[in-house]
Structure 1
Amino acid sequence: MSQPLDTLAPTFLAYLRAEQGNQDIDYTIPLTPLRGGFETQIYHFQLSGTHGAWAGPLILRLYPPRYGTRNAVWESTVQNTLAAAGYRVPKVHLVCTEMAVLGGAFFVMDFLSGAPLIAAPPTSVPMLLGQSHAELHQIDPQPLIAALAEQHIDDRNYRLQSRFDELIRKAPQHPRLRPAIDWLLRNRPPEPAQLAICHGDFHPLNLLIENGMVSGVLDWPGFVISDPAMDVATTLVLATIPIKHIAPQLGIEFPPAAVEPFVRSYFEAYQAVRPLDKTHLEYYQVFRVVKALIEGAEGQTIWQHPAIVADLVAYVHHVTAIRLALSANE
């Protein structure tokens, strides 16, 4: 996807020296790969010979060439607008869209300390998740819309319609899911007048905690401006259905009996910050479940786990009465 680390590190350092006109810049912490980037390569580093934010711990996020420049511009704009609004996201200090420099577009952002929220005491996880989620949905989306327009990013890219367009495009490839896809298209609810900034992948592995508080929210490529119920529904699917089955791999306990208290605590924390119209919540949960089944069919291993597939199929039936003829191997 990109250069080996032994060539990437000096190439990146030379770029920073040239960009800042300072040949004294050097690594105090060398470029170190971090786990966690599914679409990107992520590296931690720190510099000497510089000042301000550049003197602290930093992250390099490097995109594969097939992404072009859009995602780097997109995510950095989202993060900086939210950071300016006081939300806990890494501020971006440099964006490079010259693909030849490192083999793909990239940006440099603050390193946020903390541990994944999933490592917090079990009773704290849903409360912190719900509170932080509601705080996001409280932020006025207009400054972000304006910032994206300044970057010449068409609003069709971050409206919910783009997700439905993708669903329609993929439907012919997944005939066994067609009854559920048709149900979604037939029953699509109208969006409310008041839309919110939605993360699109808001779950305990994408939040960091430090000293009992959320210190950062990561990974923004799936953001949309839409009905907050859609974002909440996505979180409910991600934070309950797969977690029951992969909890041992994460070193945590989350038996089926823990799901209901988790959801109740999440809602209590969320609604202590802002109200939530739950009218279309089940619809959007089905939307995310069908998306998960498509992702599993396309190779995402988390959604190929037999017990997880069974739960996804069961949820579709629970809400729609549709019985999908589907197994983990299809």
Structure 2
Amino acid sequence: MGIQVAPTPASLVAAELLSYLQIRKGLSGLEYLQAPGIIPDGWETYTYRLQFQVQTAATLRGPLVLRVYHGPEGLPRLRREFMLQRRLAELHYPVARPVMAEEDPGFLGGPFLLMEWVEGDMLLHRILHDYFALLWGPQQMADVHARLHQLPLQGLLGPDRPFLERQLETLKAMVDDYDLTGLAPGLDWLRAHRPAEAESPSLLHLDFHPKNLLVHKGRCTAVLDWSESDVGDHHADAAVALLMIDTAPVEEASAWDRFMLPIGRFLTHELYRYSYRRRLPLDGRRLRYYQAWAAFRRLSWYGSWIAAGPQVMGYKPGAVGHVRPGHVADLERYFQRYSGVAIRLELPLSIPAMALSAF
């Protein structure tokens, strides 16, 4: 997986990237029109927007996004996103087209991806600033999601084992390795009530929510962050979307937005589910199982982050700062709602210092 190197400080990214492109890619004479600037959103990568002067090679023209991956899972995440986004762009699905990928972590402190900048606002931000977006945003979200689940899988490297088998094995390893005893009853329930694998697997995003959708003039221009993508039952992907709609923290919300949030969550949930079902069928029992699975999966992640740091899964160190008691309690209740089983993730008295170590 390559030598793990500390991420390059933001102040040095501009010079290091320029040096890399000149020396490794032979692109002499490069100059910035806009030096790399930090995009703070996102738990997985250090992300920047930049633009080179117009005389730059054709592949580097226009605004670009730089994603620098972190931790031992950074390289697999880079490979997955580069391969998948390139294929999805060929299928005219709304994604940012990749420009180049570098697997060597020595240049910027981790493997990195350059891709085209896509115009648009996060759907969540659009809704927070214009409540009328609730009239079309959830429908756009559902339509783009159902379209993903109907795409052909040709040209993609699929896993060699069934989706749910691999997922339950991973969850068991987390519970065992990090001594998450309070989650053990939930794992027992998931294994006992496991449905059959999907007869016709679909491409899954597995982090599909309003912060990962860009919209412009009433349509989706890009789906972001494909590092969790997989192939499996489309109910699992719909369940993750519903979990995020129902429980994801909205840290940028104003006091008024927080007051309105329960109504917004309810409308987005109902309109998304209604619109999705107009495109693809959803079996109620199977969907409820995967809603419980989605909550358990997130709690298991948080348990591993607290025990060993988010880096073990390829997330930035600061991601553990999002693991807050209220959010964890929401996930525990969510699992119990769909499974009937009470589980508990034990939290430390204070968030580890690593939460403060990265932007």
Assess same fold via TM > 0.5. Answer: yes
Other-structure match for 2:271: 265
Q: CA deviation at 1:45?
A: 0.8
CA contact (8 A) 1:45 1:59 kept: yes
Per the alignment, do residues 46 and 253 of structure 1 end up closer, same or farther by CA in structure 2, a change over 3 Å counting? farther
Q: Equivalent residue for 1:164?
A: 168
Alignment equivalent of 2:333, drawn from 308, 314, 318: 314
Partner of 2:210, secondary structure, is coil
SS of the aligned residue for 1:309 comes to helix
- The one-letter amino acid paired with 1:261 is L
Partners of 1:263 and 1:244 in 2: CA distance: 15
Is the CA contact (8 Å cut-off) linking 1:243 and 1:254 kept in structure 2? no
CA–CA separation in structure 2 for the residues paired with 1:98 and 1:257: 46
Q: Say if 1:257 and 1:7 are closer, same or farther in 2 by CA, change over 3 A.
A: closer
Please point out which of 55, 64, 75 is paired with 1:58: 64
Q: Please state how far the C-alpha of 1:80 moved relative to its aligned partner.
A: 0.6
Partner residue in 2 for 1:46: 51
Output the CA distance in 2 between the equivalents of 1:244 and 1:33. 20
Q: Equivalent residue for 1:135?
A: 147
Q: Partners of 1:81 and 1:267 in 2: how far apart?
A: 27
CA RMSD of aligned residues (A): 2.6
> In structure 2, which of residues 319, 325, 328 is the aligned counterpart of residue 305 of structure 1?
325
Verify: 1:323 aligned to 2:342, yes or no: yes
User: What does residue 29 of structure 1 align with?
Assistant: 34
Q: How far, CA to CA, are the matches of 1:325 and 1:89 in structure 2?
A: 37
Segments of 5+ residues of structure 2 without an aligned counterpart are 1-5, 127-132, 307-319, 350-359
Shift of 1:325: 5.4
User: 1: CA distance between counterparts of 2:212 and 2:48?
Assistant: 17
Q: Do the aligned residues in 2 keep the contact of 1:229 with 1:278 (CA within 8 Å)?
A: no
Aligned to 1:151: none
User: Which of these residues, 17, 26, 34, is aligned with residue 22 of structure 2?
Assistant: 17
Displacement of 1:31? 1.4
**CA displacement at 1:204 relative to structure 2:** 0.2
- Structure 1 counterpart of 2:194: 188
Q: Which of 242, 245, 261 in structure 1 is aligned with 2:248?
A: 242
- SS of residue paired to 2:37: strand
Deviation at 1:251, TM superposition (A): 4.6
1:76 and 2:60 equivalent? Answer: no
What is the CA distance between 1:316 and its match in structure 2? 2.8
CA distance in 1, matches of 2:290, 2:118: 31
State the distance in 2 between where 1:138 and 1:236 align.
Answer: 19
Residue equivalent to 1:144: 156
* 1:203 paired to 2:209: yes
**1:237–1:289 Cα contact (<8 Å) kept:** yes
| CA deviation vs aligned residue, 1:243-281 (integer Å, no higher than 9, x gap) | 589854795664434444322211222233333333300
Q: 1:282 to 1:250 in 2, by over 3 A?
A: farther
Distance 1:174 1:67 in 2: 22
Q: Percent identity?
A: 27
Residue 288 of structure 1 is matched in structure 2 by 294
Q: Extract unaligned runs of 5+ from structure 1.
A: 149-153
My pick for the range that moved more, 122-131 or 212-221, is 122-131
Q: Larger RCO: Structure 1 or Structure 2 (Cα < 8 Å, ≥ 6 residues apart)?
A: 2
* TM-superposition CA deviations, 1:195-246 (whole Å, max 9, x none): 1111001000011111111111101111110100000001111111235898
> 1:139 is aligned with what amino acid?
L
Partner-residue secondary structure (3-state), 1:136: helix
Residue 53 of structure 1 and its aligned partner are, at CA, apart by 3.8
TM-score (norm 2): 0.81
TM-score, normalised on structure 1?
Answer: 0.87
1:3 maps onto 2:8 in alignment = yes
